[in-house]
Amino acid sequence: MITYRVKLCGLALLLCWQQLAWAEEAIITEAFYVGEVVKNLSGGDKKGSQVLGTADVSIVVDTEALGLWDSGTWFAEVLFDHGKDPSGFIGDVQTASNIADGRRLRVQQFWYDHALNESVSLLLGYHDLNSEFYASEYGTLFLNSSFGIGPEMSGNVGTSLWPEAGMATRLSLHNEQSYLNVAVYDGDPATRKVDKAVEGLMTIIEAGWLDGEAAYKLGLWQHSAEKTAPDGSIFSSDAGVYMVVDQPLAEGVGMFVQLGLAQANRNEIANYLGVGFVLQGLLVSRSEDVFGLAVARAGFSDSNRQINGLTAAEIAVEVTYDMPLTDWFTLHPAYQWIQHPGGNPALKPANVAMLRFDIHTL
């Protein structure tokens, strides 16, 4: 009797083990916490410091591996953010910290992506536009928000970005070296409702060519909501164009260029230029470390400058260094020099010191 029970327990454990292995292939979870200390040493609106951070938990479900239907992927992401935006005392418009949000718990993304065949997929749900559009792989090293997506888009119209993703539908046509992505997003993700008449819709299209680490991207966007220009003129819509280039230069060395233009007669920010360089293994003893130097220039429109007495542009220079110290802990110091924060000619350049750390699951 005892032997029978032992065998039965052994069989149950084996079945549980197989079930866990199956679930591990079908369901992938990831969790990480990014914390940051930001201090404005001088210049800008005023001196100040802030501690902020974000905790992120995401789940990816492969429907085929789960034994349901083929070619489907579910994705869910929950955020818990804390700490005020340091740009409140820095005074910059490009947002020095790309994790600045405030205190809230939020379902950020929840979408389903279905591969119709090897070259076509269709997505529906709450989706971060910047996860597939206007993104530079080299630019992700930097902490200033403009290196993630140009302010001539994010600063002018409602855009489905971290930490406020909106409802979207996206069609992707792709092969190994090229793609064409077309999507329509909620015009104001902050409200979490789709109101085409009042909030409009954000339509975006991007074509890209990929070759290893090299990437060349061209995009167009149009926002259908009514737009009020700095001089009070009212327009029925807004639009812009952008380009992103990621270019390897040598082993462990690369550069990126971002260029964005928006309709100058109706926007606060008319153009954006970002240029940066990254170098992996600057120190022989630290082969995984990555050093970066980049410049972001947000150019104000003529009407915005004349009406509000602004300078031609706000320019942010960032020096950053990413140091993986263990498999689960990364330290990331950075320094930003921001000339003409907010375009205010009366403000001295801001000198911003930042220390970020990343704790992530293995």
pLDDT tens string 277-310: 999 998 889 999 999 999 999 999 999 999 999 9
* Whole-number pLDDT of residue 129: 98
Query: Does the pLDDT of residue 56 top 60, yes or no?
Result: yes
> Average of pLDDT values for 69-90?
97
Q: How far apart are CA 252 and CA 234, in angstroms?
A: 48
Q: Write the DSSP assignment of 310-358 as a string of letters.
A: --SEEEEEEEEEEEE-SSSEEEEEEEEEEESGGG-TTSPPEEEEEEEEE
Query: Does the pLDDT of residue 22 top 80, yes or no?
Result: no
Q: Is residue 21 part of a domain?
A: no
Q: Is residue 78 part of a domain?
A: yes
* Whole-number pLDDT of residue 24: 66
Q: Is residue 8 part of a domain?
A: no
Q: Write the DSSP assignment of 136-172 as a string of letters.
A: -TGGGG--SGGGTS-HHHHTTS---BTTB-EEEEEEE
Containing structural domain, residue 201: 27-360
Report the amino acid identity of residue 132. Answer: E
* Whole-number pLDDT of residue 361: 83
pLDDT-derived band of residue 66, with 50, 70 and 90 as boundaries? confident
Mean pLDDT of the chain, nearest integer:
93
Contact (CB, 8 A) for 87 and 99: no
* Whole-number pLDDT of residue 23: 59
Q: How deeply is 37 buried, as exposed, middle or buried, from its count of CB atoms within 10 A (0-12, 13-18, 19+)?
A: middle
> Average of pLDDT values for 51-75?
95
Query: Does the pLDDT of residue 13 top 50, yes or no?
Result: no
For the segment 189-224, what is each residue's pLDDT rounded down to a tens digit?
998 889 998 999 999 999 999 999 999 999 999 999
Contact (CB, 8 A) for 210 and 178: yes
CATH code of residue 349? 2.40.160.180
What three-state secondary structure class fits 217?
strand
* Whole-number pLDDT of residue 47: 97
Q: Which residue from 148, 150, 177, 139 is spatially nearest to 269, judged by alpha carbons?
A: 150
Contact (CB, 8 A) for 202 and 129: yes
Asked if omega into 163 is within 30° of 0 (cis), the reply is yes
> Average of pLDDT values for 216-240?
97
Give the number of other CB atoms < 10 A from CB of residue 312: 13
Query: Does the pLDDT of residue 14 top 70, yes or no?
Result: no
Token pair 């084996």 is found at: 14
Q: Which residue from 266, 343, 344, 273 is spatially nearest to 303, judged by alpha carbons?
A: 266
Count structural domains, the chain.
1
**Would you give the DSSP letter of residue 301?**
P
pLDDT-derived band of residue 128, with 50, 70 and 90 as boundaries? very high
Contact (CB, 8 A) for 217 and 131: no
> Average of pLDDT values for 133-151?
98
Q: Is residue 47 part of a domain?
A: yes
Query: Does the pLDDT of residue 70 top 80, yes or no?
Result: yes
Q: Is residue 340 part of a domain?
A: yes
Backbone angles phi and psi of 23, in degrees to 5: -65, -35
Percent with pLDDT over 70 in the chain? 93
Backbone angles phi and psi of 150, in degrees to 5: -65, 140
Q: How far apart are CA 139 and CA 312, in angstroms?
A: 24
Token representation of residue 266: 């109706």
Q: How far apart are CA 169 and CA 194, in angstroms?
A: 12
Query: Does the pLDDT of residue 255 top 60, yes or no?
Result: yes
Q: Is residue 6 part of a domain?
A: no
* Whole-number pLDDT of residue 284: 86
Q: Is residue 12 part of a domain?
A: no
Query: Does the pLDDT of residue 347 top 50, yes or no?
Result: yes
Q: How far apart are CA 228 and CA 12, in angstroms?
A: 66
* Whole-number pLDDT of residue 336: 98
Query: Does the pLDDT of residue 3 top 80, yes or no?
Result: no
